[in-house]
């Protein structure tokens, strides 16, 4: 059994996949397994992965019958992982060469079930910038209604103890663009605290301009964000802690609603979904007048 299981969805990344796999192969800490999930792309990505598999038994390929998306690929990896700790790495990104060594040391010194780390955002021209430039040192943050937003987001800037994921049995929702937020909420909302460290251990390759900037994709993303919002609220309610994170959900409703200003397609649908969710949450009666005025503004009447 390895100390780390590293899950990598692979789909049409023949230009970047070697950087990703080399960064893992050359780690200063070598006790890991790499689960590369073949999501049936059309380029030579998986042929490149096979070179690593043939040369190193720690690299493995898990193959989908058809293209199923990043969520399904990560779920396939989770189902097969055997390591003590789980990491997700996107196949066009890469790790700092001492990432696993740093994380192993931190995990051995903390009881936290999640350790979050800093990252570099890398532009197409190769320039990079720290995601978080504030140096605060290692700190353990208690999870509460005010702090939860710090931990809901991408899934790759942290390591998870496998025992936590096994206990919660959480998986990524298939078919949504913002799958990370669903997964990270369901996991982080059920832990007491998270260890945050300053070290930038991950290099995130910023996508080419235009990847998610067309009007249709922006609107689709907002619809998916709303779906995740509903899913996570109901998950919290069904597990008995919706009131604990009430402020968090109301904040997200407001954030989602403000984005409606920039779209036209499905605007009324989104507003109606927000309205229905507020009712489902039993939004306080004394806010009804405020709610009515706000909805009127959002609808542009």
pLDDT tens digits, one per residue of 168-226: 999 999 988 889 999 999 999 999 999 999 999 999 998 744 333 334 466 778 888 88
Nearest C-alpha neighbor of 236 from the set 247, 246, 251, 227: 246
Asked if 84 contacts 3 with a C-beta cutoff of 8 angstroms, the reply is: yes
In this prediction, residue 162 has a pLDDT band, given cuts at 50, 70 and 90, of very high
Pairing of strands 193-205, 114-122: parallel
Computed over every residue of the chain, the mean pLDDT equals 89
- 236-260 pLDDT, tens digit each: 999 999 989 988 998 888 887 777 6
The structural domains of the chain, ordered by start, are 4-205 (3.90.550.10), 215-298 (no CATH)
Asked if residue 289 has pLDDT above 70, the reply is no
At 34, phi and psi to the nearest 5?
-120, 120
pTM value? 0.90
Mean pLDDT highest for which of 22-26, 149-153, 174-178, 289-293?
A: 22-26
Tokens in use for 144? 């509460």
Specify the pairing of strand 158-161 against strand 139-142: unpaired
Residue 178 CA to residue 190 CA, distance in Å, equals 20
pLDDT, residue 263, reads: 65
- Which range (147-156, 252-261, 279-288) has the least confidence? 279-288
| Residue 208 DSSP symbol | P
| pLDDT value for 283 | 72
Nearest-angstrom CA–CA distance, 35 and 53: 10
Q: Show Cβ contacts of residue 123 under 8 Å, excluding neighbours closer than 6 positions.
A: 129, 206
Q: What is the DSSP code (8-state) at residue 272? A: H
Nearest to 272 by CA among 289, 246, 247, 295: 295
Task: Tokens for 6, please give them.
Answer: 């590293």
Closest listed residue to residue 188, CA positions, set 157, 215, 212: 157
Is the model's pLDDT at 296 over the cut of 70? no
- Please state, as a whole number, how many other Cβ atoms lie within 10 Å of the Cβ of residue 20: 26
Which pLDDT score is estimated for 213? 36
């Amino acid at each position: 059994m390895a100390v780390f299981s590293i899950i990598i969805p692979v789909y049409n990344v023949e230009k970047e996949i070697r950087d990703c796999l080399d960064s893992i192969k050359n780690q200063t800490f070598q006790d890991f397994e790499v689960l590369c999930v073949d999501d049936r792309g059309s380029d030579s990505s998986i042929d490149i992965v096979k070179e690593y598999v043939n040369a190193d038994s720690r690299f493995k390929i898990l193959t989908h019958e058809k293209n199923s998306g990043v969520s399904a690929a990560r779920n396939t990896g989770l189902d097969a992982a055997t390591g003590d700790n789980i990491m997700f790495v996107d196949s066009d990104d890469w790790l700092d060469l001492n990432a696993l060594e740093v994380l192993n040391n931190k995990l051995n010194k903390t009881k936290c079930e999640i350790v979050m780390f800093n990252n570099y955002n890398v532009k197409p021209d190769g320039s990079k910038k720290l995601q978080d430039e504030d140096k605060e040192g290692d700190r353990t943050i208690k999870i509460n209604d005010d702090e939860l937003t710090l931990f809901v987001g991408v899934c790759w800037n942290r390591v998870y103890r496998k025992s936590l994921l096994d206990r919660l049995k959480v998986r990524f929702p298939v078919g949504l663009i913002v799958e990370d937020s669903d997964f990270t909420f369901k996991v982080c909302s059920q832990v007491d605290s998270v260890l945050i460290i300053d070290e930038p251990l991950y290099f995130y390759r910023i996508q080419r301009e235009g990847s998610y900037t067309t009007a249709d994709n922006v609107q689709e993303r907002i619809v998916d964000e709303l779906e995740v919002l509903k899913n996570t609220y109901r998950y919290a309610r069904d597990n008995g802690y919706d009131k604990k994170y009430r402020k968090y959900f109301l904040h997200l409703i407001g954030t989602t609603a403000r984005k409606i200003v920039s779209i036209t397609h499905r605007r009324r649908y989104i507003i109606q979904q927000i309205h229905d969710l507020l009712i489902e949450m039993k939004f306080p009666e004394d806010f009804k007048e405020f709610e009515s005025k706000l909805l009127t503004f959002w609808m542009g009447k």
